[in-house]
Structure 1
């Protein structure tokens, strides 16, 4: 009886601790949402309060107007085009490369796989300057190509994740498909792809998040305001020479959180399944 009582108190304390940590993590988001309904002059004056003294819904309409006649609808459209193209390129390229490493035998396979994995140890900041020089010589600056084309050449993290998932699939399925006259690409498209759906969705979600938050890449490659993404457009609210419309900035930042949150809640079961299964070789 005492043992059950101790277990209950321990479980309660763990749950209370999780609630406290969760509340502390969500407080900045709640503060931002509350500030989006305050007057700009009152954002930091009443920063201690989450409830606005006077609700100002015009911040969303003012923020949506954007800058120089370019509304935030354009910025959201640009972001969705870049993100969706990047996700598509990542899924197609990484699944093909992962299938090759997991199922196809070829010379120097270990060497090439090791080379791909070594790129995980290379900080992204190191390749920024060489990449910019290459893209500038190709005439791709001020276009979306530097942001979307590299995705069609694979990513080491997603290649490894999908490859480990493919290894959990019995090789006997490939042999049975070969007997039935299925080609290598047929095995990949008809057998492997349907079975690795959790890994593909997991990769797509992570790539969606990373592309959506890609501020630095959009900042250095997109020089025209009509091509800006949401992350770069939010920076335009900050004007040191005059003043910053904090309320409008927080309003648009709140709207920018909606797509990632919706994607997470719609596909969270695939994230858990994809990550928990990866690495378990059957």
Structure 2
């Protein structure tokens, strides 16, 4: 067997392996989509098959109607309000903090940067109780504020670090040229850094959207009234340990809850790959 045939055989084996691995990873999503259209008795009795014996569209109607007089549209609206606010706040405040660390010299810069890096390794469970006490004293529990405020106050440390690395890869000669033209430090950020930061900002927005949209712990802790529950809490409310779980509507609404993330990922995939590939490169 010559070298050309060996390379062809290697490529075939590689693509077969990748396709098989891809099918294995996508199968749970396909199962959820197909099961959302199955009768309740068939979801687990015929779990292997991805093709329903009959299409039960009532699962989507029943799930969208919600429960307790609150439709699922309310939960989608609540999640959209929280997620969009956190994403926009993280992009604005996080990029400002990252610009300060990457481009501006100030006292205790290295100490503060070390503190920033330390908070990345800090488990969220450690700060959960102190944060709850603070928000409870401020009478902000059972509102969206505890979910949105951290994103509006500087964003998450991981996203700030990602943008710092990206900004460090932007030539400083651009800053110097802007200063010569009379541009202020904020002007450099607004006119030079921010437009060039678009790939990193899209990456931050995508990850922030997915993490916030899928967040279950924070809404569970801070939101009490059913009218302000997010999608993740609403999906949990479909499950009743003492009675029975409405698996059809649950899987139907679970499928719909994935739709915003899939659409955003499909439309902004190019910027996501570009942002990850170029972050930290000089």
Q: Same fold (TM over 0.5)?
A: yes
Question: How much has 1:162 moved relative to structure 2?
Answer: 0.6
Bigger shift: residues 207-216 or 152-161: 152-161
C-alpha distance after superposition, 1:92-118 (max 9, x if no partner): 111001100111011111111011001
2:113 alignment counterpart: 113
How high is the TM-score relative to the length of structure 1? 0.98
Secondary structure in structure 2 of the residue aligned to 1:14: helix
Distance 2:172 2:223 in 1: 46
- Cα deviations across residues 208-266 of structure 1 (Å, max 9, x unaligned)? 00000001111111101000111110011111222111001000000001000000000
Structure 2 counterpart of 1:250: 251
Aligned length in residues = 281
State the secondary structure of the residue aligned to 1:107: coil
Q: Within 1, Cα distance between the matches of 2:240 and 2:196?
A: 51
For residue 64 of structure 1, report the CA deviation from its aligned partner.
0.3
Distance across 2 between alignment mates of 1:186 and 1:37: 54
Q: What secondary structure, in the 3-state scheme, does the structure 1 residue paired with 2:54 have? A: coil
Give the match for residue 73 of structure 1.
Answer: 73
CA distance in 2 between partners of 1:107 and 1:48 (Å):
62
1:169 corresponding residue in structure 2: 170
Question: What is residue 275 of structure 1 aligned with on the other side?
Answer: 276
- Offset from partner CA, 1:56-102 (integer Å, 9 cap, x none): 11110011000111101000000000000000111111100110011
In structure 2, the residue matched to 1:2 is 2
Aligned to 1:132: 132
Unaligned runs of 5+ in 1: none
Partner of 1:210: 211
Partners in 2 of 1:240 and 1:152 — Cα distance? Answer: 37
CA distance in 2, matches of 1:38, 1:83: 31
User: Secondary structure at the residue paired with 2:107?
Assistant: coil
1:51 Cα deviation from its structure 2 partner: 1.0
Take 2:42 and 2:242, find their aligned partners in 1: how far apart are those partners?
A: 20
Offset, 1:124:
1.0
Structure 1 stretches (4+) deviating beyond 4 angstroms?
Answer: none
Q: 1:1-282 counterparts in 2 under 5 A?
A: 2-154=2-154, 155-281=156-282
| RMSD of equivalent CA atoms | 0.9
Separation in structure 1 between the aligned mates of residue 212 and residue 183 of structure 2, nearest angstrom: 36
Q: Runs of 5+ in structure 2 lacking a partner?
A: none
Describe the superposition over 1:112-171 as per-residue Cα deviations: whole angstroms up to 9, x where unpaired: 101100101111111111111111111111000010001122221111111111111111
